[in-house]
Amino acid sequence: VNGLQARTFGVWTLLSSVIRCLCAIDIRNKTLYYITLFTFFLALVHFLSEVFIYHTAALTIGVMAPLMVASFSILGMLIGLQYLEVEALSQNKKKN
């Protein structure tokens, strides 16, 4: 890893964390919710590709931790998405 790669990865991590914090503040914003969900998919694909395709990382705790966080976050957000859709439908019924 050179300095440029480290800084790029750091900025990517910072951007992902800002998006995730904004989603936590405004969780009913569906566009932001989908963008946040995509950041977890992107992280999962990135780490899986580094381990299984490029072989630049080993399955150590340092790699397993982000894989587990991304996996559980995707699962939780997909479950939460169903509740957001039900809530949106019930709000539309109240307006009509």
Q: What is the pLDDT of residue 17?
A: 96
The structure tokens listed for 95 are 């307006």
Confidence class for position 81, pLDDT limits 50, 70, 90: very high
Taking the C-alpha atoms of residue 36 and residue 73, their distance in angstroms, rounded to an integer, is: 10
| Residue span of the structural domain in which 30 resides | 3-95
Total domains in the chain come to: 1
Taking the C-alpha atoms of residue 65 and residue 18, their distance in angstroms, rounded to an integer, is: 20
Q: Mind listing the pLDDT tens digit for each residue in 52-67?
A: 999 999 999 999 999 9
